[in-house]
Structure 1
């Protein structure tokens, strides 16, 4: 079978593609991947036996959506041309917008011949957009959601399954933090990933800045938000906040060893507060307590699973609450909670793998059944 995976990000920012690639029979299937190189810097191609197609078009992430329309239309043109030229049997849509951009192709030529990976509800407050996304879900063979909190935005269909942004490779580094000294001073709070949400991070910097109990570290591309936060620290004489810049995916294992608390706080948003971030999984895999925004879906999850705390950076007592949370952790119980939570995630992950295996490792597309009906 000839299969296309397509997403609108750089490869480094689509780790969830491994959920599919790790299950595909790359010998008996002809697998292609279309990705978007947004910063015009050379990509490190993963070691898969597949054909890579690069869409190279510079696009800043932190600009209003209206300023991205031209670039997205160029991506749509490239994707449609690739599909037309290669005549794929099956398509895996790696994020919400990718499917929206080629919805006409999916409806006309790929009904029940594509998987939809839904992980971005930023425009579901627009009724027409929500309706069109619902139609894509109904026409997919299977839709995966990266957070159960996203199900409320979608039609109630039997073909919707939960996936997890779990990198199986990270399990090889399971204990990199577990047996290191926990009672360190200062407590090292660390963020990794795309640096965004300037307002709430300024709040966190204000709460922890020059507090001798803490160090705050940021790892990620220094676009507008990162630069603004760094300038804010410099102009206010804040000495205990550090910006380390871009990193390769495997490098996070090195700084995870020196992380006491994982900063997993994002702005409260009616839509995105339902998301499950990649760092949630990093926390439970590497036994690192994490802090999430109070009232968010992820915040409720870390509290119920006893693997972190949900705190509000607007609270003047934020630093004291964070400090008291950390020093009062029962590490034996915390480690057990991480194990139990990870076991549940891994079980769901493998259940999703079985769905993928049933669909994608068939020799003929006509053999595929709608497995959600069984």
Structure 2
């Protein structure tokens, strides 16, 4: 008898592109599955699930934190009813907030019959958060992390580090075999939700109307950048708002450097491995990151990281230009090949777990 599988998430499907590691596996093996998720945008999203249970969430920015929290928590009542009625054989719990929300339900009703996916560091230092996550993590069949830098801050467990490379999205792209010639502008791209526009503004100020560069900022939250470059009459910066994830390969195909300046000094960003690192690795191109972050450590080891010290952008235009044109694409390619091997090993380890618990 076929197992009943469910993917449970507090995110819209478009923010779960890496769930393809699980859904592609199930599609490949003709395994039916359901999805229970929050819809924050009131949109229809494509999927291959047998059943999709959507909880529409319409939260206003001006609401208080408590009011927002109550509306979010309504998803727990909605989803718990479905989980219990359908009595799933295995549940894929997507992200740490979902694990936090459903910790008691999972431990009480599905111990050993679910896996957790920890995407980000979120207040693991708070006693209440740590202990509630511990309640979810300990009885899980297995728990994966998107960065091994999270592990020291989590409850003790034999975690699987799963690299966030989505082959389905990126296989349409080819790795670069050459750097941009000196007679053409270097294209720097930020792609995704913009959480820290203040750092982008500082880089824009330093590179404004420098014909050696063209900067693209694409994604929700970049609107203030659009207003800024219009007011300052900056001609070498392009801004665009929301995009559909399916556009990702087309947007990435002719980029020269990935922009990944988030922040420094809090564990949320200091420990994270951004998906943008995987864009750079896959495309065989450099990435701009902040000093004193885990992204610095990895990108430096791979020889693709241009490191900026927070709030120190002096002469960055000249330094970045000279550094970029000093790179050896063959050296980068060698590092890329080694890292891709480690990515494949992590994905193979996940597949072994799915063979046991899902197939």
- Using structure 2 for the length normalisation, give the TM-score: 0.91
Say whether residues 1:4 and 2:6 are aligned partners.
Answer: yes
Say whether residues 1:300 and 2:294 are aligned partners.
Answer: no
SS in 2 for 1:23: helix
Aligned residues: 355
Change (3 A) 1:211 1:64: farther
Shift of 1:66: 5.1
Say whether residues 1:233 and 2:223 are aligned partners.
Answer: no
Q: Which residue of 1 aligns with 2:309?
A: 312
Unaligned runs of 5+ in 1: 362-374
Say whether residues 1:133 and 2:133 are aligned partners.
Answer: yes
Q: Which residue of 1 aligns with 2:246?
A: 250
Contact 2:179–2:256 (8 Å) recurs in 1:
no
SS in 2 for 1:216: strand
Superimposed CA distance per residue, residues 219-260 of structure 1 (whole angstroms, 9 cap, x where no aligned partner)? 112xxx322222222222222211122222232222222211
Q: Which residue of 2 aligns with 1:105?
A: 105
* Alpha-carbon distance in 2 for matches of 1:182, 1:117: 41
* Alpha-carbon distance in 2 for matches of 1:85, 1:193: 37
Shift of 1:130: 1.4
Q: Which residue of 2 aligns with 1:14?
A: 16
* Alpha-carbon distance in 2 for matches of 1:67, 1:242: 37
Contact 1:180–1:257 (8 Å) recurs in 2:
no
Superimposed CA distance per residue, residues 187-208 of structure 1 (whole angstroms, 9 cap, x where no aligned partner)? 1100111122122222222222
Query: Please, which moves more after superposition, 14-23 or 59-68?
Result: 59-68
Q: Which residue of 1 aligns with 2:214?
A: 215
Q: Which residue of 2 aligns with 1:325?
A: 323
Superimposed CA distance per residue, residues 270-320 of structure 1 (whole angstroms, 9 cap, x where no aligned partner)? 222101111111111111211111111011101012232222251123333
Unaligned runs of 5+ in 2: none
Superimposed CA distance per residue, residues 311-355 of structure 1 (whole angstroms, 9 cap, x where no aligned partner)? 225112333322222111111111222122112211222122212
Q: Which residue of 1 aligns with 2:36?
A: 34
Contact 1:26–1:50 (8 Å) recurs in 2:
no
Shift of 1:180: 7.7
Query: Please, which moves more after superposition, 136-145 or 337-346?
Result: 337-346
Contact 1:204–1:313 (8 Å) recurs in 2:
no
Q: Which residue of 2 aligns with 1:95?
A: 95
* Alpha-carbon distance in 2 for matches of 1:143, 1:50: 25
Contact 2:180–2:256 (8 Å) recurs in 1:
no
* Alpha-carbon distance in 2 for matches of 1:312, 1:64: 36
* Alpha-carbon distance in 2 for matches of 1:113, 1:32: 15
SS in 2 for 1:164: coil
Shift of 1:174: 4.4
- Using structure 1 for the length normalisation, give the TM-score: 0.87
Change (3 A) 1:209 1:68: farther
* Alpha-carbon distance in 1 for matches of 2:65, 2:265: 16
| Alignment map for 1:125-204 (pairs within 5 Å) | 125-158=125-158, 160-170=159-169, 172-175=171-174, 177-178=176-177, 181-183=180-182, 185-204=184-203
Query: Please, which moves more after superposition, 86-95 or 178-187?
Result: 178-187
Structure 2 residue aligned with 1:290, among 284, 287, 290? 287
